[in-house]
Amino acid sequence: MHFHKYEKIWLSFGLVSLIVFLSVVGVSAFSQNHTPSGGMDTIDPEKVNETAPFDKPGVTQLDEDTYQVAIVALAFGYNAPDLRVPAGKEIIFKVTSTDVVHSFTIDNTKVNMMVVPGRITTKSYTFEEPGKYLILCNEYCGTGHHMMSTEIEVY
């Protein structure tokens, strides 16, 4: 098979950039922990309200620098009372659903989590700026999908 000289240069350039690019993404992901939200924990979708930490949704302080926020997503809202967290501390979000698939997305941040019934999605995030952030659902979940939102206050 004959490759034109310029095509060899073009493809080599492409392949080298591909390797460099994937290495940057991979190193950032696995040695600096910049991974997308996820997690392997499961839960019975019909017993969410009886299962910790979702039996007491909301903010819990785990230690001096870490807070956990448990949220139950359901059509068409979030069961998460009193969402107030400090800036500059690690916040671990844990979200699950009692019905269909939703998302838990905090505007102006990298928190963009798919919420799947039967699964617990986890994401760690540190807010830098205090303020009121809009939380919304960006996975279609029914007639009220575009009404599904709440707010988190960072102080």
Partner 1 sequence: MIAQPERKIALWHLGVAYTAFLIGTLMGVLQVFIRNDALQLPAWLDYYQILTAHGVLLALIYTTFFIFAFFITGMSKSLGSFGPKVRLFSWIGLWVTLLGTVMATIMIIAGEASVLYTFYAPLKANGFYYVGLALVIVGTWISSFALVGHYMVWRRNNKGQLSPLFAFMTVTTIILWIIACLGVVATVLFQYIPWAFGWTDTINVELSRSLFWYFGHPLVYFWLLPAYIAWYTIVPKLLGVKVFSDSLARLAFVLFILFSIPVGFHHQLTEPGISNFWKFLQVVLTFMVIVPSLMTAFSMFATFEISGRQKGGTGLFGWFKKLPWRDVRFTSIFIAMAFFIPGGAGGIINASFQLNEVVHNTLWIVGHFHITVGTPVAMTFMGLTFWLIPYLTGRRFTKRMQRLGFVQIITWSIGMLLMSTAQHVLGLMGAPRRTAYSGYNGHPSAMEWFDGILSNHVTMAVGGTILFLSAMILMYIVIMTMFVSPKAETPEQMVEFPLAESDMSHTPKWLENWWIWIGIAAALIILAYAIPLTHMIQHAPPGSKGFITW
Q: What does the binding site for partner 1 look like in residue numbers (CB under 8 A)?
A: 1-4, 6-7, 10-11, 14-15, 18, 21-22, 25-26, 28-30, 34-46, 75-76, 99-101, 103, 105, 107-108, 110-114, 116-122, 133-134, 136-147, 149, 151
Task: Between 28 and 61, name the residue whose CB sits nearer to partner 1.
Answer: 28
Minimum CB separation of residue 64 from partner 1 in Å reads: 27
85 versus 114: smaller Cβ distance to partner 1: 114
Helix (H) or strand (E) holding 15: helix 5-30
Q: Are 115 and 97 in contact (CB under 8 A)?
A: yes
Q: Round to whole Å and give the CA distance between 107 and 80.
A: 17
Half-sphere exposure for 31 (CA within 13 Å, toward CB):
6
What gap in Å lies between CA 146 and CA 73, rounded to an integer?
14
Question: What is the nearest approach in angstroms of partner 1 to the Cβ of residue 65?
Answer: 23
Cβ proximity to partner 1: between 7 and 65 the closer is: 7
